Structure 1
């Protein structure tokens, strides 16, 4: 009897697609799993209130209260995902042994346990300075602050984080993407839009002044349209950071929730890749605005994956998740988000794009549309099931039972 996978291989082969090659190519697309989904962007400083225009909705029980619990939760999530992935940390997740260590004084030693954990599991690490939830960020302004002493503190924080990122990259043998995002902006219309951007550009130059080995650390910069408390003006806009990245050879971060709701980053990829060496994607799901809902297999997620594969950008695009939902089990949120992203990537690798491209090149727009629609019903699920089984993880919703068991036995014991 022909198996579902064999049937899928035959159907895709009719369209010129080598299914085995597509499945093998998935190993080249690790997803960076964001630590902050596991504890609602709390970190271990004890700051209490989340700042920087960030907000987490919900109070689902069982969130991680310390690094050990967060790592255990991440272990379970990664055990339910096909393939090897990465883990993305913020500076506020430093382990300081109960001592107060200011952010401009952080070193790789404060992340030694994270590095050891990543090495033991064979996963890479990514990193982020934390320009929020801090007394010197209470005004919502950091690297563009008019007060030089405040600006210098955050510059030194950025420098410290780049060194930490480089140490992570050296230890794991995989470059760490260290991403800079600041909440700087204005709630109401500013009188001077120029000066804060001049200060931010100069501050970034200082943050990046130390030359680091790109095999250990890659610098990324992230824009945003607006945020809570910065509705009228954002210093680090898309235009600002795109210009800065082009001028300085930095990785440009495109966050799916950081643009107008009618804009999509799938349309931006082939544009920015003409001028930017590498791109960092923060895959999220905005509803109405930058609400950071858990990623699902949406049309936009499929389009993002298609652009990565069609453009041959696999070696130049770093894929990470960025959402925080406390209305559902936090581990399940991780698993749903990563598996959805992987499904989109596998579907893109299986897409018979060649015949669609040929029809378009020939001016046959009727065939282009007809083929695009026919491709939507090719037997993708059989290939996804095969891929999961080959990697030793549940193919269907069986993973949810493991999360529910863990919730009952472990997470429910957390007060």
Structure 2
């Protein structure tokens, strides 16, 4: 019996054809869905502005795995290694603290020139770039407030930082020919009982309006705003709540960012996608894995990751939903974390594309819920793994777990040059 990958692929194609699914078409369509990988997994959200600085804003990278990237050259080398092991199209998501500059540059003075190295690198690798202002880990965010700060001068500093970030994002879009999605998240909130919740939200509203006042063509730049339930140091009150940012995105026509870890432990973002899409022009997804809450573990091929992919594919939201990742684990090899998480998101999208959705929808419309459940469960056993292996072969990336050998070789040949335990 021939057990070759080619034979497995041919058998899988036939199995999916039996339920009216074209596996080859699914692979071709998967090649149109880029995943925006986040640069901050590679260095534990340290950035290059002040590598010795400590994280604030409720952000914490736990672990002390050796080999953390210490500069742009090392981070780009690590990303390139990860890219080789992940099939299909990708993007890169940068934070403002990953600028390259000689000497100190204040965040409200950052310019496109400080990211020209990233643009040239992205052009060589045929990548789109996305962006984020960094409204944390800074002396002017030390008391827990930025765009909603009561001090007008501090508030203005953060407005100018976000305005400068928008100009950099638009620069990415113009230079690379693909719109940059720029996501605004602020850590603003209070640790304990809060009497006045209205004034900070009024200030945040006014600040955001000032940030996006300059009109930029969505061909180059897309604004997104992100809510959060609470954070370390903001356990009792978060200014930018889900209700606030849903209202803002709806009324201002920005994209809404849904982060998988930013809601109550029993909430999932997959069920929010179709509701939000009725009211906002676009969604940005930060796919992560909360453990109890927003712990940003590496994305698994679990039920929620699959449900997110299903909602995108079933409703054909391909042009309106931007898929990004957001996790940072310093307890394991950082390149492996990128590879595991990104491959899992792509696997989930492939499985969604291989679902006999039209047949399932017809059964639902006919009220045949018995057959709907039966088919939904039976299709889970179809040989999607053989189709994924074919996709990896198409892109000359390792099949199965073979990618880990490449990570180990890189770990022993490259990472030791960075010194010992430097996380």
SS in 2 for 1:335: helix
The residue aligned with 1:56 is: 61
Distance in 1 of aligned mates of 2:226 and 2:392: 33
In structure 1, how many angstroms separate the alpha carbons of the residues matched to 2:89 and 2:276? 28
* TM superposition shift of 1:248: 0.7
2:335 matched residue in structure 1: 331
Work out the CA distance in 2 between the residues paired with 1:231 and 1:367.
Answer: 46
Q: Shift of residue 28 of structure 1?
A: 1.6
Q: How does 1:357-376 map to 2 (within 5 A)?
A: 357-376=361-380
CA deviation string 1:207-241 (max 9, x = no partner)? 00111121111000000011101111110011100
Q: Distance in 2 between matches of 1:108 and 1:401?
A: 38
- CA distance in structure 1 between the aligned counterparts of 2:291 and 2:413, rounded to whole angstroms: 33
Report matched runs for 1:206-221 at 5 Å: 206-221=210-225
1:77 maps to which of 82, 104, 116? 82
- Taking the aligned partners of 2:259 and 2:74, their CA distance within structure 1 comes to 28
**Pairing 1:125-204 to 2, within 5 Å after superposition:** 125-204=129-208
Q: Does 1:86 align with 2:59?
A: no
**Superposition pairs for residues 336-351 of structure 1, below 5 Å?**
336-351=340-355
CA distance in 2, matches of 1:172, 1:124: 6
TM-score (structure 1 length as normaliser): 0.99
Number of the residue aligned with 1:408: 412
Match of 1:66 in 2: 71
* 1:311-364 residue CA offsets vs partner (Å, 9 max, x unmatched): 110111100000000000000000001000000000000001122111111111
Secondary structure at the counterpart of residue 279 of structure 2: coil
SS at match of 1:376: helix
Larger deviation: 52-61 or 356-365?
A: 356-365
Q: Distance in 2 between matches of 1:353 and 1:123?
A: 31
Q: Distance in 1 between matches of 2:28 and 2:284?
A: 23
1:116 is the counterpart of 2:120: yes
CA distance in 2, matches of 1:157, 1:378: 50
2:11 counterpart residue number: 7
Write out the 4+ residue segments of structure 1 that deviate beyond 2 Å after TM superposition.
Answer: none
Q: Structure 2: 5+ residue runs without aligned partners?
A: none
1:392 aligns with 2:413: no
The separation in 1 between residues aligned to 2:136 and 2:160, in whole angstroms, is 15
Cα drift, residue 366 of structure 1? 1.0
SS of residue matched to 2:73: helix
- How far 1:88 sits from its partner (Å)? 0.5
Cα distance, 1:181 vs structure 2: 0.2
SS of equivalent to 1:168 = helix
Equivalent residue for 1:96, pick from 98, 101, 126: 101
Measure the CA separation in 1 of the matches of 2:14 and 2:31: 23
CA offsets, 1:59-116, max 9 Å, x none?
000000000000000001011111120000000000112x110000000000010010
Asked if the contact 2:184–2:226 (Cα under 8 Å) also holds between the matched residues in 1, the reply is: yes
Distance in structure 1 (CA, Å) of the matches to 2:366 and 2:410: 55
Asked if 1 retains the 8 angstrom alpha-carbon contact of 2:32 and 2:89, the reply is no
Determine whether 1:295 maps to 2:299: yes
Mapped contact 2:35–2:325 kept (Cα < 8 A): yes
Q: Quote the residue 2:28 is aligned against.
A: 24
> Secondary structure of the residue that 2:313 maps to in structure 1?
helix
- Helix, strand or coil: the match of 1:17? coil
Any residues of structure 2 matched to 1:224-239 within 5 Å, and which? 224-239=228-243
- 1:304 and 2:284 equivalent? no
Number of aligned residue pairs: give it.
414
TM-score, length-scaled by structure 2: 0.97
CA distance in 1, matches of 2:97, 2:189: 22
Helix, strand or coil at the partner of 1:83: coil
